[in-house]
Amino acid sequence: MSKRWISFDLDGTLMQNPFGAWVFPEIARVIAGQLGREHDIVSEMVAEHERRMSQERYVEAYDWDDILFSRCDALCIEKTIEIESLVRKHSVIPKVNLLEGGILQMFDEMKKRGFSLAVVTNGFYKFQAPVMEALGLLNYFDEIVTPERAGAGKPDPAILQKLSGEVIAHVGDRLDHDIQLANRSHVTSILIERKLPEDLARLQPQMRANDQRMRLLCLEKWKRECKNPFLLELPELFMPQIVICSMSELLSVLNEQGLG
């Protein structure tokens, strides 16, 4: 029997990783110590990440060790930091957390219904697995698809090729990565937006994407993701088919869509 996959983004969708609050600040402190002065190494690393993304070098864009090495080389200092070690050090609650309650119970129910579950993330496995393990997520997934394993990153549809069978839906929090990926792959695209205005939150998840207010909200979101405030229209490629405001809505959505 062919597998029926539901795939999930991780960061901003299921969990909070330690990079922004803990890993990057520690990198900055170590580099400042080596230089003997303050230096905004994190902004330089993010700029290099964004440069690689703009060139569609999706795998290299999330190789934070290589990015740090390139910056250290430019500063003529030795790279003494292993980012994986920092991630493991900081992958403890409350430095990392699930973004809402009930997520693990939802996965249990999805498994009972016969779904295969996959993570499809742009984070390298060595950076994601310690966080997932700390939060009890790791053993729920049949596949963990990462750029260095797949040879591709979101939004390239090639990243889904590792999932043999039918991918029913992809759930994520970004239009440029997750929704674009799903739409390009002809997979049901599900946006999770936990801060929906009350008037949209009152609508059924299947109705939200058809509401003009949702389209305007997505346009503003896309502007932020692109860092371009002058965009005037959201391409259909970036428009989700379904919008949920919590994971607790997902099972009912799959039922309503005839997918459950």
Q: How confident is the chain (260 residues) per 10-residue block, as mean pLDDT?
A: 92 97 98 96 97 96 98 96 97 97 96 96 98 97 97 97 94 98 97 96 94 96 92 94 96 77
Report the distance separating Cα 83 and Cα 39, nearest Å: 18
Domain boundary assignment for the chain: 4-17+94-256, 19-90
At residue 127, what is the residue type?
F
Separation of CA 211 from chain center: 25
Q: What is the pLDDT of residue 258?
A: 64
In DSSP terms, 205 is beta-bridged to none
Coil, helix or strand at residue 190: strand
The pTM for the full model equals: 0.94
Strand 97-98 and strand 116-120: pairing? unpaired
Strand 4-8 and strand 15-16: pairing? unpaired
Report the distance separating Cα 173 and Cα 180, nearest Å: 11
In sequence order, the 6+-apart residues with CB closer than 8 A to the CB of 124 are: 62, 63, 64, 146, 147, 148
pLDDT tens-digit series, residues 151-168: 999 999 999 998 999 999
- CATH placement of domain 4-17+94-256: 3.40.50.1000
Q: What is the pLDDT of residue 255?
A: 80
Residue 253's closest CA among 13, 243, 185, 196?
243
